[in-house]
Structure 1
Amino acid sequence: MSFPLPDTDVPSLTTAQMVEVDRLMVEEYVIDLPRMMESAGRSAAALVRERFLGGDPRGKSVAVLAGPGGNGGGVLVAARRLANWGADVSVILASPNLTPVPAHQLGILRHMGVGVRAADTVADVPPPVAVLDGLIGYSLRGAPRGSAADLIRWANGRSERVLALDVPSGMDAGTGAVSDPTVRAAATLTLALPKHGLREPASAQWTGELYLADISVPPGLYARLGLDVGPIFARSEVVRLT
């Protein structure tokens, strides 16, 4: 399966606009975080399956790097789906202290018997066919450090196998500036609309192929931000931008 190019123009968002999209989704459109997270994770799992696992996850190892926030929750949803499809999934946590919605997703995985590891055991993970980066999203504040930084460096030893969710961990989504360290991904699946920084020419060496996933943002919401957004996902829930 290949993911189509969009049939309509795709604008990009500032970080401040993305924060406002999230706020309006929850507070006014009542499309809450679990629903957005489910959409993100479903699309990430589908892209991992097609782009990295040859269309068939059965028996193939996938390492899922999860941070404590929304991006972590999204990759935990993807971990559930990939495990259900037969992949051998290992979840590696940057922190044991997850925010409530990702913690709920982690609880589901534990009930399923999916392996969950602390960051300091990542060296013991079997060589993965694919790595899913959900360590840090567009809310990056300063350079990654501690366990998150260690996991980014581990992922960069396998960069040709890495899919970053929303933005490569360590990159400023608004400007494209990179920290030390930053995930160097083979592909990035960004959400709703691409962030400005992902479209900076220098970002391509970190994002790899750029894809966009539908998290069900209504066109009327974008119109409130002065954006005219057409039916980008009319043919597919995931489209390829580069």
Structure 2
Amino acid sequence: MSVDIIICEICVISVICGSDMLPTYTASQVTQLDRYTIEDLGVDLKQLMEVAGMRSAEAALKLFGKEKNIAILAGPGGNGGDALVCAKWLKLWGREPTVYLSHEEEKLKPVTLDQHKVWKAFGGKIGGVPSSSQGFDGIIDGLLGYSLEGDPRGKSADLIRWANESQFPILALDIPSGLDATTGEARDPCIRAKHTVVFGVMKVGLTVESASDFAGEIELVNIGFPREFPDSVLSK
């Protein structure tokens, strides 16, 4: 089995000869790596989110080219915060993104709510219910991250189904919404992305052969994580 993985040369984590040598981590391990980076090393969460959002916007420019009309689907957690930062950078670079939230403002996590406020301060557009008739040039999926539990529900599920049915090219942030980061199992529904930009470390689920149907081409970028982690981090 071979999964094609692009490693961003500017923000490379490690130099490898092939994807089989790339370290992979389960969802619970990624949680520990996040905690170590933020709490032990003192890297600010908003700083990580800013870099993730900018890298996502760069990936969107490569995927969508000069097209401007982009739908950005944002969830209540960190993945949604990344999507909102991505929207800001795309707007600064001359694109016309519209953000669609899966949850009301009061249900957004604090750091995501902060990014939502920034987006509005920049004059960013917030949509209600997206429609294929709006003629989007691409979709960015920032609904659900690696900590997914069970099938997507509610408006998140509705937005995933709409995105898949729209036939517009989809860029997934970190992992396609609905894909299990540990097992690679596709929940119902699950985003079918053309390209996935992965933040920091490779998730085990993305290397499962069947996951390629949902992740498309995979690009791994460093957003400020250390090059190596102490073994003790994953043993906690």
How does the TM-score come out when normalised to structure 1?
0.85
Question: Residue in 1 aligned with 2:149?
Answer: 141
Question: Residue in 2 aligned with 1:177?
Answer: 185
Give the aligned CA root-mean-square deviation in angstroms.
2.1
* Equivalences for residues 120-199 of structure 1 within 5 A: 121-123=129-131, 126-159=134-167, 161-199=169-207
Amino acid at match of 2:217: E
For residues 220 and 177 of structure 1, the distance between their equivalents in structure 2, rounded to whole angstroms, comes to: 28
The 3-state SS of whatever aligns with 1:44 is helix
Question: Residue in 1 aligned with 2:111?
Answer: 101
Q: Identity of aligned pairs, percent?
A: 37
Among 84, 90, 110, the residue aligned to 1:82: 90
Deviation at 1:79, TM superposition (A): 0.2
Amino acid at match of 2:61: R
Structure 1: runs of 5 or more not aligned = 227-242
Among 23, 26, 30, the residue aligned to 1:11: 23
The 3-state SS of whatever aligns with 1:122 is coil
Amino acid at match of 1:123: S
For residues 223 and 38 of structure 1, the distance between their equivalents in structure 2, rounded to whole angstroms, comes to: 28
Superimposed CA distance per residue, residues 145-190 of structure 1 (whole angstroms, 9 cap, x where no aligned partner): 1100000001102355100001100111000001110000001111
Deviation at 1:111, TM superposition (A): 1.2
* Equivalences for residues 231-242 of structure 1 within 5 A: none
Deviation at 1:32, TM superposition (A): 2.1
Among 103, 122, 125, the residue aligned to 1:112: 122
Structure-2 change in CA distance of 1:224 and 1:160 (3 Å): farther
Superimposed CA distance per residue, residues 104-161 of structure 1 (whole angstroms, 9 cap, x where no aligned partner): 111111111111123xx21277221111000000111110011000000011023551
8 A Cα contact 2:197 2:218, kept in partner: yes
Say if 2:70 is the partner of 1:62. Answer: yes
8 A Cα contact 2:37 2:225, kept in partner: yes
For residues 165 and 131 of structure 1, the distance between their equivalents in structure 2, rounded to whole angstroms, comes to: 11
Structure 2: runs of 5 or more not aligned = 1-6
Among 215, 219, 224, the residue aligned to 2:223: 215
8 A Cα contact 2:70 2:137, kept in partner: yes
For residues 71 and 125 of structure 1, the distance between their equivalents in structure 2, rounded to whole angstroms, comes to: 26
Deviation at 1:221, TM superposition (A): 2.7
Aligned length: 220
For residues 105 and 222 of structure 1, the distance between their equivalents in structure 2, rounded to whole angstroms, comes to: 31
Amino acid at match of 1:76: L
For residues 209 and 220 of structure 1, the distance between their equivalents in structure 2, rounded to whole angstroms, comes to: 25
